[in-house]
Amino acid sequence: AGRAGAPSAHGERRAELSRRLRALSEAEKQRQSRLLSRKVIGHSKYQESQRIAVFLSMQDEVQTEEIIKDMFQRGKECFIPQYKPKSNHMDMVKLTSAEEISSLPLTSWKIHQPSDNDVREEALSVGGLDLILMPGLGFDKSGNRLGRGKGYYDTYLERCMHHPKGKPYTIALAFKEQICDSVPVTENDISIDEILYEDS
């Protein structure tokens, strides 16, 4: 606010998506999250991946707890975001168990994440990643993603490309209310391999 002229396409689209998400009931978010968890767990890319990064959900995101529990049951390696405040830097650090999540400190966004002095294996420091399960605010069917404006995932995917293993497969998880005809993109945005939502 306070800037002259029309708000950017990104700003308008973000505001509209935030409104749509606020209108979703808890029960509906849970229903779609359960359905998407099953889609992920049944997905061939998920089944063949050993090292997987997954987001810990905010209030208005697809809930990922079931997927994380399944990863540990299958003996996969699970990595979760560790965001550096006041920057667009994020690491993907190793989680030791699904139960451990609730004991991690909460960030200002109410997301559990290991504290800065909690030194853990970073996914790219060793074997890279096979798959990243990504959040976002909005998506279109061409694989374009509208994030929350900080650029954490685009910057991280850029780093993945420099890893000997190369870019992991990327799957975004979305409520069907987050699917748009098109989302505005900039040249730094990296498109997603696949977007899962109800009906996809």
The answer to whether 127 and 133 have CB atoms below 8 angstroms apart is no
Q: What is the pLDDT, as a whole number, of residue 4?
A: 46
65 annotated as ligand-binding: no
Residue 3 lies in a domain: no
SS3 of residue 139 by DSSP: strand
How much is the CA Rg of the chain, to the nearest whole Å? 16
Cα separation of the two ends of the chain: 36
pTM, two decimals, is 0.92
Is the residue at 4 inside a domain?
no
> Residues 172, 145: contact at Cβ < 8 Å?
yes
Residue 7 pLDDT: 55
Does 137 fall in a domain? yes
Domain presence at residue 178: yes
- What SS3 state is found at 31? helix
Q: Stretch 170-184: mean pLDDT, rounded?
A: 94
d(CA 188, CA 18): 23
- With 60 as the cut, is the pLDDT of residue 200 above it? yes
Q: Is 148 known as a binding-site position?
A: yes
- 101 within a domain of the structure (yes/no): yes
pLDDT for the residue numbered 51: 98
Average pLDDT, the chain: 91
Determine whether the annotation assigns residue 61 to a binding site: yes
| 104 has binding-site annotation | no
* CATH number where 98 lies: 3.40.50.10420
Q: Considering the domain boundaries, does residue 1 fall inside one?
A: no
151 is in an annotated binding site: yes
Q: How many domains does the chain have?
A: 1
Say if residue 5 carries a ligand binding annotation: no
Contact criterion met (CB below 8 Å) for 29 and 149: no
Domain holding 80, by residue range, is 9-196
Q: Can you tell me which residue has the tokens 């529990």?
A: 69
Higher pLDDT, 86 or 33: 33
List, for residues 39-85, the tens digit of each pLDDT value.
Answer: 999 999 999 999 999 999 998 999 999 999 999 999 999 999 999 87
User: Which residues fall within 8 angstroms of residue 163, CB to CB, at 6 or more apart?
Assistant: 124, 128
User: Is residue 6 over pLDDT 60?
Assistant: no
